[in-house]
């Protein structure tokens, strides 16, 4: 082998780099460099070519999450070229159904505090992320209406809203209602405010150490209500009628409710009265040609005492027919009485309201 050829083959491989002996002539150095480049690149030519595939990215809504929130989970699917695949089907799952109730469309209802892993799957591609559901604490109690103007004997329901972070409702909390002065207005077991005497007081709603208030003013006016409706109809109203025979004489009897009054304040005990008109007629003539002659007309009244129980419901105890009791409760616009018809198992609905 000639000296030039020998120099040509004196190629030294140093690590990942190929170098050429410096003693070669310029032409041989160029040729040797070309061969060396081919030799050095041979390993890369045989390496496997990376294969790209679809990808999936979970997109969680921003902000803090609390029990009761309903959030929509979304995932972005890209194809092998990196392009977004619109409306790509995604299947969702969670690590704890006790914390998150998951719908098929990705709508997640958060149930209680804790950390939960959500997983999105599209075909053979899956991605997971962790969400944190924070505990929801009471930071505000709101009483509505915030101000009440009542008259003695009035009863009004109270609304209480317990809220937390971001104005979210906080369910399941025990709310305690009270009045600063129960001799002016008190709260019954059903959460209604009852006006007892003229004056001003404050009612309070308390939950988890947080309190909301409302102002109650009871006016200096008599709490007298008039009977205005029976079964939704105006007065006077025929409530009973019957045909009877006495000693061979045919009679027709009818009963009207004409009015009444309910007094819930004053020096005495609360009382009620129902004005009744009773009429008797003698009936003569054949069917289709009846003649009615007034035989007797009287006006009577069912009257008695009114008491209020712990739930805020009224009890009417008759002093006219004993034992006869009627029940009543405060409704919007007045006092509604479930009136028991004497000697019968039927009832009428009476409404007392302010004139």
Read off the pLDDT of residues 66-121 as tens digits, 9 standing for 90 and up. 999 999 899 999 998 889 999 899 999 999 999 999 987 889 999 999 999 999 99
Residue 3 DSSP SS3: helix
Same domain, 233 and 318: yes
- Is 262 domain-assigned? yes
163's tokens:
């809220």
Same domain, 86 and 178: no
- Is 17 domain-assigned? yes
For residues 125 and 54, give the distance between their C-alpha atoms in angstroms, rounded to a whole number. Answer: 7
Confidence class for position 345, pLDDT limits 50, 70, 90:
confident
Same domain, 257 and 336: yes
pLDDT of residue 40: 47
- Is 107 domain-assigned? yes
- Is 153 domain-assigned? yes
Q: Which residue, 321, 341, 345, is CA-closest to 230?
A: 341
pLDDT of residue 269: 78
111: CATH: 2.60.40.1080
Can you tell me which residue has the tokens 């040797």?
32
- Is 50 domain-assigned? no
Go through the chain and tell me how many residues it has: 355
The CB density around residue 149, as the number of other CB atoms within 10 Å, is 13
Distance of CA 185 to the CA centre of its chain: 28
pLDDT tens figures, 295-335: 999 999 999 999 887 777 889 999 988 788 999 988 877 88
Domain total of the chain: 4
39's tokens:
């030799």
Same domain, 280 and 264: yes
Domain boundary among 196, 219, 242: 219
Residue 28 has pLDDT above 80, yes or no: no
Residue 309 DSSP SS3: coil
Q: Which residue, 314, 334, 273, is CA-closest to 150?
A: 334
Same domain, 101 and 180: no
Residue 337 has pLDDT above 50, yes or no: yes
- Is 119 domain-assigned? yes
pLDDT of residue 347: 93
pLDDT tens figures, 197-247: 899 999 999 999 999 999 999 987 767 889 999 999 999 999 989 998 888
Percent of the chain residues past pLDDT 70, beyond the cut:
84
Same domain, 12 and 38: yes
Domain that holds residue 206: 140-219
The answer to whether the beta carbons of residues 328 and 307 sit under 8 Å apart is no
Domain boundary among 169, 193, 219: 219
| For residue 14, cis peptide bond before it (omega within 30 degrees of 0) | no
How confident is the model over 253-282, as a mean pLDDT? 87
Give CA separation, 65 vs 120, 133, 162, 244, in Å: 19, 5, 18, 75
pLDDT tens figures, 127-162: 999 999 999 999 999 999 999 998 887 888 899 999
For residues 162 and 53, give the distance between their C-alpha atoms in angstroms, rounded to a whole number. Answer: 50
DSSP assigned state of 134: P
pLDDT of residue 220: 79
Same domain, 209 and 228: no
Same domain, 185 and 99: no
Give CA separation, 54 vs 21, 80, 266, in Å: 49, 5, 83
Query: Any residues with CB less than 8 A from the CB of 26 and at least 6 apart, and which?
Result: none
pLDDT of residue 50: 52
- Is 193 domain-assigned? yes
- Is 237 domain-assigned? yes
Same domain, 104 and 70: yes
For residues 231 and 289, give the distance between their C-alpha atoms in angstroms, rounded to a whole number. Answer: 32
Can you tell me which residue has the tokens 């990215």?
57
Domain boundary among 116, 133, 150: 133
Same domain, 128 and 148: no
Same domain, 94 and 39: no
pLDDT of residue 43: 52
Same domain, 69 and 126: yes
Average pLDDT value over all residues in the chain: 84
Confidence class for position 17, pLDDT limits 50, 70, 90:
very low
Q: Which residue, 326, 311, 306, is CA-closest to 223?
A: 306
């Amino acid at each position: 082998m000639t000296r030039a050829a020998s120099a040509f083959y004196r190629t030294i491989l140093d690590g990942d780099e190929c170098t050429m002996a410096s003693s070669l002539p310029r032409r041989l150095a160029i040729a040797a460099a070309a061969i060396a480049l081919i030799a050095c690149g041979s390993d890369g030519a045989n390496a496997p070519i990376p294969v790209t595939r679809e990808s999936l990215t979970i997109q969680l809504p921003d902000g803090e999450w609390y029990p009761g929130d309903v959030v929509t989970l979304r995932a972005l699917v890209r194809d092998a070229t990196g392009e977004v695949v619109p409306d790509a089907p995604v299947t969702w799952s969670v690590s704890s159904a006790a914390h998150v109730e998951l719908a098929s469309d990705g709508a997640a209802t958060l149930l209680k505090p804790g950390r939960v892993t959500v997983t999105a799957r599209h075909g053979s591609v899956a991605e997971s992320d962790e969400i944190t559901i924070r505990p929801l604490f009471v930071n505000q109690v709101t009483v509505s209406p915030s101000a009440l103007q009542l008259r003695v004997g009035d009863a009004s329901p109270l609304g209480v809203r317990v809220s937390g972070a971001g104005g979210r409702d906080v369910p399941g909390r025990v709310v305690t209602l009270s009045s600063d002065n129960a001799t002016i207005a008190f709260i019954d077991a059903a959460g209604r405010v009852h006006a007892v005497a003229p004056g001003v007081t404050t009612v309070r709603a308390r939950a988890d150490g947080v309190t909301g208030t409302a102002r109650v003013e009871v006016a200096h006016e008599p709490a007298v209500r008039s009977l205005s409706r029976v079964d939704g109809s105006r007065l006077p109203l025929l409530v009973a009628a019957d045909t009877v025979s006495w000693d061979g004489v045919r009679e027709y009897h009818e009963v009207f409710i004409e009015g009444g009054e309910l007094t819930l304040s004053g020096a005495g005990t609360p009382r009620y009265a129902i004005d009744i008109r009773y009429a008797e007629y003698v009936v003569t003539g054949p069917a289709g040609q009846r003649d009615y002659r007034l035989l007797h007309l009287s006006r009577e009244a069912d009257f008695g005492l009114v008491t209020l129980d712990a739930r805020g419901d009224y009890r009417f105890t008759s002093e006219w027919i004993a034992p006869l009791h009627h029940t009543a409760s405060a409704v919007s616009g007045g006092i509604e009485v479930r009136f028991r018809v004497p000697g019968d198992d039927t009832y009428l609905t009476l409404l007392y309201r302010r004139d």
